[in-house]
Amino acid sequence: MSVIVPKWVKDAVFYQIFPDRFAKSDAVAKPTNIQPWGLPPTASHYQGGDLMGIVERLDYLTDLGVNALYLNPIFQSASNHRYHTHDYFRVDPLLGGDQALRTLIKKAHSQGVRVILDGVFNHASRGFFQFNDILESGNASPWLDWFKITDWPLSPYNLEKPANYESWWDQRQLPKFNTDNAEVREFLMSVAEYWIKVFDVDGWRLDVPGDITSAGFWEEFRRRTKAVNYDAYLVGEIWHEAPEWLMGDRFDALMNYSLSEAIIAFLAGDRVPQILLEGKTLKPFPRIQAKEFGRRLQHLLDLYDWEVTQVQFNLVDSHDTPRLISLARGDVTTVELALLLQMTLPGAPCIYYGDEIGIRGTTDYDLPFRDTDARWPFPWHERSHWNEKLLDYFKVAISLRHKYPSLRGGRFSQEHAEGSCFVFSRGGGGERLIIGLNAGESSTEIELNVGEYFSDGSTLSTVFGPTSESYSVQGGRLTLAIPARTGVVLAPANQPAI
């Protein structure tokens, strides 16, 4: 029996937004000490992006082809990334508050765009009321059992003294919840239910879920959220292969970083500056060729139920990684080819904000990566900084996924994997497409056995690629030419696929 997943995700093209850096609206009042938009980002400064800024840019996003948003945390917090939650039941005032979220969801839904939120349930912050009460009241606090206190006194700021409480990765600003406490569990479950029930959000991306080890926590989380909306999408931030999380009792999908690694290692190859990833979980190196890429891809496809595979969260970069263009040392072609794979492989593709215009990341390839390097503000008022050619490529590639149902739900078949050339097909419902990528530095010509899909005399036309070539099937075979560092998509021109 197949695992049940939200059907809408199979048709989704996600766009991840870091709210403080995407768009700033004049409709949201701001304090005076906001860093001017466009300055180099820092770990602490706010640049003032907000949810109304997203509302005002929805037409841009739908024109790009996006129909689902993943928002980094939006709840009240004392950090620009908002993973330090102060109030789980209040949208941060700097983002426009609760009303801005209502406006965003209403307009997004009216345009066929879904919205999922970032859920940070492993840890809170020093400013979270219950923890702050412990800091003020000591061992007389009624909230003592909400956290894991090991000794007294607590030292939340003075690093020369022991913290005396558990925190995420020993970061004192992130005290870890005691999720074995029934009161804590009920509180967190009520948060998850509230935003779906009251604000009609479409799901959750769950932060560091593997760090919550309380028995049955995520099983209860799924039951409770799905009872409110069975179509809510639950995706976990787990960086490795983890089929045990996707058996139908916890998450619908994972952030598919295993696929990210394979795509980058194949397409960026030796360009990847390994120092940028020191201390990071992501390891898209050493360089791999098409055969190894195909092996890894098939392994991932075999690892999960087909329904799960179709909603896996397929990304190539995020707020936690260097931007792909940085990992490719500025090579735009790597970004293009990676996007083509995202749009044609099984799973739900996700674009990190600004990748479509070549937004800057780090250009210092000799230093370790800093999170701020991936969080530059979107240059709305500096159109000259946009890579317009890249933006057009994104629009066309995304439209391809929307146009052909087989790219969203069709079965995958590997057709060729040698050297730098990888070819596969997607098909179903009488539709069959051939997708070919050449990651090498010279053009290549290959012969494919396609008699299983097309009858002799069938003509396949290039519906995506650098040229408008047509190919004829003879003797069950097709000879395909792919220029260096390009990708092509072929569709039958004169008869449906077998």
Give which of 378, 360, 318 is closest to 54, Cα–Cα.
Answer: 378
Question: For 189, how many CA atoms within 13 A lie in the half-sphere containing its CB?
Answer: 20
Which helix or strand (DSSP H or E) is residue 90 part of? strand 85-91
Catalytic residue among 202, 237, 317, 373: 237
- Quick one: CA torsion of 273, 277, 281, 286, rounded to 10 degrees? 20
Q: Where are the alpha helices (DSSP H) in 148-244?
A: 182-197, 217-228
Q: Verify whether residue 207 is a known catalytic residue.
A: yes
Measured CA to CA, the distance from residue 68 to residue 261 in angstroms comes to 23
Q: Verify whether residue 237 is a known catalytic residue.
A: yes
C-alpha dist (Å) from residue 48 to 18, 85, 291: 11, 18, 46
Radius of gyration of the chain (CA): 24
Give which of 6, 12, 11, 30 is closest to 20, Cα–Cα.
Answer: 30
Amino acid, res. 201: V
Catalytic residue among 207, 252, 317, 373: 207
Residue 429: burial class (beta carbons within 10 Å; 0-12, 13-18, 19+): exposed
DSSP-derived secondary structure for 39-60: SPP-SS------HHHHHHTHHH
Angle at 390 between CA 388 and CA 394, to 5 degrees: 115
Active centre residues (catalytic)? 207, 237
